[in-house]
């Protein structure tokens, strides 16, 4: 099966048209500079969330067609408006000790002040998202039932370590404790609470889905109850990916309209890519791509947690580097998947 046959491209036509129309509107209304900033934000979102599409595609397979349509349409509202707009507003209000109305006024009319308030909330946001994504990574590899390994020496040991119950939870909490201990007193409690909330939500959402059976037991029970739990997990996973991009976007521009436009168009592109991977069963042919995506998720989670420590020392990990790490891991896993597939075809 050649990669990206012509039928794959039909999934990308609609998001590409939407991106072109969105950029054209911004160009006509706000000028060339605003259109360029929107394009940069779009590329930032795609680079940071490409690995998210791979993981989402695997979970999406467990949903019924109506639930899939909801996730790919109305479900887009949650990460775009909830995480990129209402989420930062809520965090800003809590961190700055102001009301939601004042935070909204700052976002719309005083972007510099809003950025200052967002920086106060940033440690909480990074701790929540970082721990959620780190747990996604750890629970994928600390699995004694896992038999397919990409980087075999390491992954085989991680799989064997999965025999120790809740080891991944202990490791994540130890890392969070070490991070909190290295921070000033006023930040320790905030980072610890936010990180624990991220960890608990990840455990709760995945455990609810698993309670209705695994993929081999997919039936009416999974479609009804497990599908809803998987839908919740998808939205939480999307939200955690969006947090890093939202914060990084404010380093590029403080215009909330451009941020929502650029990141929203990027999220639409990722949604279509998720649909393509799911419906064309691409992950069944590119067997290591899911591994690469989870390595990228783990790297992003660690970068988000490290960002809290670095910010206290006036250092910052550039968003382009975070995106580059994820893309590099996906490219390597894709190349190895194709090499394995060619070897299987030659042997057959």
The pLDDT confidence band at residue 43, using thresholds 50, 70 and 90, is confident
The pLDDT confidence band at residue 52, using thresholds 50, 70 and 90, is confident
The residue ranges of every structural domain in the chain are 6-347
Does 167 or 286 have the greater pLDDT score? 167
Instruction: State the chain's mean pLDDT as an integer.
Output: 79
What's the confidence (pLDDT) of residue 223? 43
Is the per-residue pLDDT at 222 higher than 50?
Answer: no
User: Which residues, in sequence order, are CB contacts of 180 under 8 Å at separation 6+?
Assistant: 187, 188, 189, 191, 192, 195
User: What mean pLDDT comes out for the span 223-229?
Assistant: 53
DSSP 158-205: HHHHTTSTTHHHHHHHHHHHHHHHTS-HHHHHHHHHHHHHHHHHHHHH
User: What mean pLDDT comes out for the span 205-226?
Assistant: 50
Structure tokens at 159: 């799989």
User: What mean pLDDT comes out for the span 287-298?
Assistant: 85
What's the confidence (pLDDT) of residue 84? 66
| Residue (of 269, 261, 239, 244) closest to 322 by Cα position | 244
User: What mean pLDDT comes out for the span 237-260?
Assistant: 69
Q: Could you give the angle at the alpha carbon of 269 between the alpha carbons of 50 and 62, nearest 5°? A: 70
DSSP 51-79: HHHHHHHHHHTTS-HHHHHHHHTGGGHII
Is the per-residue pLDDT at 2 higher than 60?
Answer: no
25-29, 59-63, 154-158, 194-198: which range is least confident on average?
59-63
| Residue (of 255, 341, 317, 340) closest to 41 by Cα position | 255
What's the confidence (pLDDT) of residue 22? 92
Is the per-residue pLDDT at 139 higher than 80?
Answer: yes
The pLDDT confidence band at residue 300, using thresholds 50, 70 and 90, is confident
127-141, 170-184, 318-332: which range is least confident on average?
318-332
Of all residues in the chain, the percent with pLDDT exceeding 70 is: 78
What's the confidence (pLDDT) of residue 81? 67
What's the confidence (pLDDT) of residue 221? 41
User: Which residues, in sequence order, are CB contacts of 304 under 8 Å at separation 6+?
Assistant: 126, 127, 129, 130, 133, 243, 244
The pLDDT confidence band at residue 269, using thresholds 50, 70 and 90, is confident
Is the per-residue pLDDT at 348 higher than 60?
Answer: no
Torsional sign, CA 307, 311, 312, 313: positive
Is the per-residue pLDDT at 225 higher than 60?
Answer: no
Is the per-residue pLDDT at 149 higher than 50?
Answer: yes
Q: How far is CA 44 from the centre of its chain?
A: 12
What's the confidence (pLDDT) of residue 182? 92
Is the per-residue pLDDT at 280 higher than 80?
Answer: no
CA distances from 185 to 78, 198, 303 (A): 34, 21, 22
What's the confidence (pLDDT) of residue 199? 92
pLDDT digits (tens, 9 = 90+) for 63-122: 777 777 777 677 667 666 666 677 667 767 776 677 888 888 887 778 777 777 777 788
What's the confidence (pLDDT) of residue 233? 67
Structure tokens at 14: 């609609």
pTM: 0.75
């Amino acid at each position: 099966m050649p990669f990206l046959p012509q039928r794959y491209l039909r999934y990308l036509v609609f998001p590409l048209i939407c991106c072109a129309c969105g950029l054209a509107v911004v160009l006509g209304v706000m000028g060339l500079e605003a259109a360029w900033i929107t394009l940069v934000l779009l590329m930032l979102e795609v680079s940071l969330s490409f690995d998210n599409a791979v993981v989402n595609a695997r979970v999406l397979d467990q949903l019924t067609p109506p639930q899939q349509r909801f996730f790919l349409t109305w479900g887009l509202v949650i990460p775009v408006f909830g995480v990129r707009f209402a989420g930062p507003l809520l965090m800003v209000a809590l961190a700055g000790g102001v009301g939601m109305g004042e935070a909204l006024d700052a976002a719309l009319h005083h972007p510099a002040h809003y950025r200052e308030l967002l920086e106060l909330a940033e440690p909480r946001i990074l701790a929540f998202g970082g721990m959620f994504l780190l747990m996604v990574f750890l629970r994928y590899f600390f699995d004694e039932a896992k038999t397919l390994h990409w980087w075999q020496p390491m992954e085989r040991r991680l799989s064997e370590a999965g025999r120790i119950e809740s080891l991944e939870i202990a490791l994540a909490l130890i890392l969070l404790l070490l991070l909190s201990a290295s921070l000033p007193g006023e930040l320790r409690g905030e980072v610890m609470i936010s990180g624990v909330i991220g960890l608990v939500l990840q455990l709760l959402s995945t455990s609810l889905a698993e309670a209705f059976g695994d993929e081999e037991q997919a039936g009416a029970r999974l479609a009804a109850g497990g599908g809803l739990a998987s839908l919740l997990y998808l939205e939480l996973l999307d939200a955690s990916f969006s947090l890093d991009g939202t914060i990084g976007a404010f380093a590029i521009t403080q215009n909330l309209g451009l941020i929502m436009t650029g990141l929203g168009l990027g999220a639409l592109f990722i949604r279509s890519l998720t649909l393509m991977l799911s419906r064309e069963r691409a992950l069944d042919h590119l067997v290591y791509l899911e591994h690469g995506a989870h390595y990228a998720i783990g790297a992003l989670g660690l970068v988000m947690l490290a960002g809290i420590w670095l910010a206290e020392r006036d250092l910052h990990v550039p968003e382009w580097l975070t995106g580059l790490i994820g893309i590099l891991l996906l490219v390597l896993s894709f190349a190895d998947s194709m090499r394995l597939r060619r070897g299987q075809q030659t042997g057959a």
